[in-house]
Amino acid sequence: MHPELARKINLVLLLMVAVVMCGSLSVQFIVGDLPCPLCILQRYAMLGLAMGPLLNLRFGIRPRHLSVTLMFALFGIAVSVRQVLLHIIPGSGNYGAPVFGMHLYTWSSLIFFIALVVTALLLLIEDAWSPLDTPPYNDKIVHIGFGFMILITLPLVLATFLECGWRCPDNPVDYMLLKP
For the segment 18-28, the average pLDDT, to the nearest whole number, is 87
Q: Determine the average pLDDT of the residues in 44-49.
A: 93
CATH class of 3-178: mainly alpha
pLDDT at res. 128: 55
Averaged over 7-21, what is the pLDDT? 84
Give the percent of the chain with pLDDT over 70: 88
pTM to 2 decimal places: 0.84
Question: Is 164's pLDDT higher than 90?
Answer: no
More confident residue, 85 or 131: 85
DSSP state, 165? T
Long-range contacts (CB closer than 8 Å, 24 or more residues apart) made by 78-82: 79/38, 79/41, 79/42, 79/45, 80/38, 80/42, 80/105, 80/106, 80/108, 80/109, 80/112, 81/109, 82/38
Q: Judge whether residue 179 has pLDDT over 80.
A: no
Instruction: Check residue 48 and give its pLDDT.
Output: 92
ω into 63 cis (within 30 of 0): no
Q: What are the extents of the domains in the chain?
A: 3-178
